[in-house]
């Protein structure tokens, strides 16, 4: 009799743990997939109201560039127009996967806006073991820049990041890039050892540190930090258009015919 009671009590319990475990497993898988897809689509969707998106887009205390921050490498690596009223300043690391992912997005933005914006690239190699070649890569890009080919080298380093980042012969690969972009390879190698290229990287690093850059890529539009979750062409377009609209509303800053001496695009300008 007692055994009968016991088996009656035990039977419904026997499947329950497996049901709970199965439910949690399914929940975890579905939840993970749902969150993954929502994260993927988040940059393309304006004003996503999920809690994580809100937290991610909440400006951090260091979201503006202090006017007192060091200038960084001078002249900076810049595209667009010096006279543009909207300045994009990116701090990036050549071994950072997110920076490589942001590169085509920013290239598209640059080609979309042309001379209506000023785009500045700052080297910000992180001092972490996983980014052991980041500083050297920045110097390699700057050394190419001394021959006027910074952007070509910068692009090749990002496009081929996966290839060279784990390769023991990464310097040979970079040499191949130098040959490909048609610079004097011997001079480039000598410049990599010299202080000019390193000095530029160090100057950019000093600027980034003073601003409070703590992750890469960090993009500032007119001195305001853009969260990485906004790093998509439509979102960046919205921010840039809003900035352009602000300046075009002012009669003194006509973006279509900005005077050459206009310094409104000062990278130190904090908003």
Site string for another protein, 89-128 (x = CB under 8 A): -------xxx--x------------------------x-x
Q: Are 62 and 270 in contact (CB under 8 A)?
A: no
Among 106, 227, 235, 265, binds another protein (CB under 8 A): 227
**Quick check: 131 binds another protein (CB under 8 A)?**
yes
Nearer to another protein, 65 or 134 (CB): 134
Cβ proximity to another protein, 10 vs 46, nearer residue: 10
What is the nearest approach in angstroms of another protein to the Cβ of residue 6?
Answer: 6
CB nearer to another protein: pick between 63 and 81:
63
Three-state secondary structure along the chain? CHHHHHHHHHHHHHHHHHHHHHHHHHHHHHHHHHHHHHHHHHHHCCCCCCHHHHHHHCCCCCCECCCCCCCCCCCCEEEECCCCCEEEEEEECCCCHHHHHHHHHHHHHHHHHHHHEEEEEEECCCCCHHHCCHHHHHHHHHHHHCCCCHHHHHHHHHHCHHHHHCCCCHHHHHHHHHHHCCCCHHHHHHHHHCHHHHHHHHHHHHHHHHHCCCCCCEEEECCEEECHHHCCHHHHHHHHHHHHHHHHHCCCCCCCCCCCCCCCCCCCCCC
Q: Which is nearer to another protein, 6 or 271 (CB)?
A: 6
* Size of interface with another protein, in residues (CB under 8 A): 41
CB of residue 79 vs another protein: minimum separation in angstroms?
24
Nearer to another protein, 99 or 139 (CB): 99
Distance CA 200, CA 123 (A): 8
State yes or no: residue 24 binds another protein (CB under 8 A).
yes
Stretch touching another protein by CB under 8 A, among 18-26, 141-149, 152-160, 259-267: 18-26
Q: What's the rounded Cα separation, in Å, for the pair 153 and 97?
A: 17
Binder among 56, 173, 210, 269 for another protein (CB under 8 A): 56
Residue position matching structure tokens 């992180």: 126
**Half-sphere exposure (Cβ direction) of 206: Cα atoms closer than 13 Å:** 13
Residue 113 or 220 having the CB closest to another protein? 220
Binding mask 187-216 for another protein (x = CB under 8 A): ---------------------------xxx
Please identify, using beta-carbon distances, which residue of 23 and 193 lies nearer to another protein. Answer: 23
148 part of the interface to another protein, by CB under 8 A:
no
| Chain contacts with another protein (rule: CB under 8 A) | 1-2, 5-6, 9-10, 13, 16-17, 20-21, 24-25, 28, 31-32, 35-36, 39-40, 42, 52, 55-56, 58, 60, 96-98, 101, 126, 128-131, 214-216, 227-229
């Amino acid at each position: 009799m007692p055994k009968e009671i016991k088996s009656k009590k035990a039977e419904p319990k026997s499947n329950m743990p497996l049901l709970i475990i199965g439910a949690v497993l399914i929940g975890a898988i579905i939840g993970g997939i749902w969150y993954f897809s929502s994260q993927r689509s988040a940059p393309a969707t304006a004003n996503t109201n999920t809690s994580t998106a809100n937290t991610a887009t909440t400006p951090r205390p260091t979201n503006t560039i202090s006017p007192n921050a060091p200038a960084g490498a001078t002249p900076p690596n810049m595209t667009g127009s010096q006279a543009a009223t909207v300045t994009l300043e990116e701090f990036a690391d050549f071994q950072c996967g997110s920076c490589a992912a942001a590169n085509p997005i920013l290239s598209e933005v640059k080609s979309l806006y042309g001379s209506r914006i000023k785009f500045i690239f700052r080297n910000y190699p992180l001092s972490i073991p996983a980014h052991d070649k980041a500083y050297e890569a920045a110097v390699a890009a700057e050394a190419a820049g001394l021959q006027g080919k910074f952007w070509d080298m910068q692009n090749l380093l990002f496009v081929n990041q996966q290839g060279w980042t784990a390769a023991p012969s990464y310097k040979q690969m970079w040499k191949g890039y130098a040959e490909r972009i048609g610079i004097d390879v011997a001079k480039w190698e000598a410049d990599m050892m010299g202080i000019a290229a390193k000095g530029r990287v160090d100057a950019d690093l000093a600027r980034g540190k003073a601003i409070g850059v703590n992750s890469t890529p960090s993009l500032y539009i007119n001195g305001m930090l853009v969260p990485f979750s906004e790093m998509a062409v439509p979102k960046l377009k919205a921010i840039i258009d809003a900035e352009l609209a602000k300046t075009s509303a002012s009669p003194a800053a006509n973006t279509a015919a900005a005077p050459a001496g206009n310094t409104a695009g000062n990278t130190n300008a904090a908003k």
